[in-house]
């Protein structure tokens, strides 16, 4: 009897474990160790890992980081009275319309101002407009879309009809009309563009809320007696922010282009404060004689907007469940 019990337990009659019992215990221990040491993976970490694997997206993100550092650095230096390589507003009529050289790598404009200095100092203006405008639009659009999508009914219909009416007007010309009435200025442009640019975000958030409010966990939270505000902010909104974030990244490029267009037409940031748009506007008269006045700020606008677009597109592919690759 003792021998039979020992064999059943994987042990030899002498008290030693059998080879099969030892192997089974070792395998169980190894599996437990692997499970304990395995990193905890979340949907966000998986999305960020997929984003890092995107060569184009990561390259564009690195470009954006460099632009951000340049913008902040030259803003701080300008506030401190330090200008490199030259003062962007210092005129030197003897050196006007000079082509690119060692002294002026990107040439000079019609007043002898260094184009490179003006482009570097204009980076802060363009990035400020892009980020602040998108921030204002995202806050307003998220709030309106959340209320509309969660409430439904007549309130949803009323809000969406207002959104449809605002989207019927071309956004650029609507912003141009308001700026013409209020007058040009950096912060006026930011506020007007932010207040008038929330409609797309509102429709996006509303669509997400219409889907998420019928999910089981939301229905369960509602059945347990939770209030509307905690349900929106705890259960629905965190799951609806991924497409909003992607839309915001893509929207920065549109805000930069709009500001450049307004400055080019004379309704944006006014001289002598340098922006990429008014640098191009200053060079349009000399386009045949001084090509660098339009080419280099145009390249800066192109590279920045393209970097935002490629970064946003890579984020969209990483966060969209239908485009996730099985690993």
CA distance 275 to 273: 7
**Mean pLDDT computed over every residue of the chain:** 83
State both tokens at 55. Answer: 């060569």
Q: Assess whether pLDDT exceeds 90 at residue 11.
A: no
The average pLDDT across 110-124 equals 92
| pLDDT value of position 173 | 86
CA distance 304 to 127: 9
Q: Assess whether pLDDT exceeds 70 at residue 12.
A: no
Secondary structure (DSSP) of 260-321: HHHHHHTSSSPTTS--HHHHHHHHGGGTTT-THHHHHHHHHHHHHHHHHHHHHHHHHHHH-G
The average pLDDT across 22-32 equals 45
Q: Assess whether pLDDT exceeds 80 at residue 265.
A: yes
Q: What is the pTM of this model?
A: 0.80
Q: 149-179: string of b/e by CB count within 10 Å (b at 16+)?
A: bbeeeeebeebbeebeeeeeeebeebbbebb
pLDDT in tens, 205-250: 999 998 888 888 888 888 888 888 888 888 888 888 888 888 899 8
Secondary structure (DSSP) of 82-123: --SSS-TT---GGGTTPPS-SSSTT-B-TT--BHHHHHHHHH
Spatial contact of 110 and 282, defined as CB atoms under 8 Å apart? yes
| pLDDT value of position 141 | 93
The average pLDDT across 68-79 equals 91
DSSP 203: H
| pLDDT value of position 327 | 41
Spatial contact of 215 and 149, defined as CB atoms under 8 Å apart? no
Q: Poorest-confidence range of 169-173, 292-296, 304-308?
A: 169-173
| pLDDT value of position 84 | 85
| pLDDT value of position 39 | 55
Spatial contact of 35 and 41, defined as CB atoms under 8 Å apart? no
- Which tops the pLDDT comparison, 147 or 42? 147
Among residues 238, 248, 162, the alpha carbon closest in space to that of 199 is found at 162
The average pLDDT across 33-62 equals 74
| pLDDT value of position 40 | 60
């Amino acid at each position: 009897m003792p021998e039979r019990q020992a064999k059943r337990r994987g042990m030899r009659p002498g008290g030693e474990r059998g080879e099969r019992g030892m192997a089974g215990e070792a395998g169980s221990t190894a599996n437990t160790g692997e499970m304990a040491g395995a990193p905890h993976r979340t949907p966000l970490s998986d999305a960020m890992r997929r984003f890092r694997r995107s060569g184009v997206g990561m390259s564009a993100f690195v470009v954006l980081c460099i632009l951000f550092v340049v913008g902040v650095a030259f803003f701080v230096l300008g506030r401190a009275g330090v200008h490199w390589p030259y003062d962007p507003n210092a005129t030197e009529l003897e050196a006007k319309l000079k082509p690119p050289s060692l002294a002026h790598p990107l040439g000079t404009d019609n007043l002898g101002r260094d184009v490179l200095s003006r482009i570097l100092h204009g980076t802060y203006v363009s990035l400020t407009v892009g980020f602040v405008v998108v921030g204002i639009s995202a806050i307003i659009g998220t709030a309106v879309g959340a209320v509309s999508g969660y409430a439904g009914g007549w309130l949803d219909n009323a809000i969406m009809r207002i959104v449809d009416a605002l989207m019927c007007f071309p956004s650029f010309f609507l912003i141009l009309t308001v700026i013409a009435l209020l007058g040009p200025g950096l912060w006026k442009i930011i506020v007007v563009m932010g207040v008038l640019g929330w409609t797309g975000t509102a429709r996006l958030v509303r669509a997400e809320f219409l889907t998420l409010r019928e999910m089981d966990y939301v229905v369960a939270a509602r059945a347990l007696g939770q209030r509307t505000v905690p349900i929106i902010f705890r259960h629905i909104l965190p799951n609806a922010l991924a497409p909003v974030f992607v839309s915001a990244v893509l929207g920065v490029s549109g805000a930069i282009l709009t500001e450049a267009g307004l400055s080019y037409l004379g309704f944006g940031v006014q001289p002598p404060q340098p922006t990429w748009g008014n640098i191009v506007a200053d060079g349009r008269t000399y386009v045949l004689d001084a090509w660098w006045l339009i080419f280099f700020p145009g390249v800066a606008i192109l590279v920045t907007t393209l970097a935002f677009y490629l970064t946003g597109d890579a984020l969209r592919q990483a966060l969209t469940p239908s485009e996730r690759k099985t690993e």
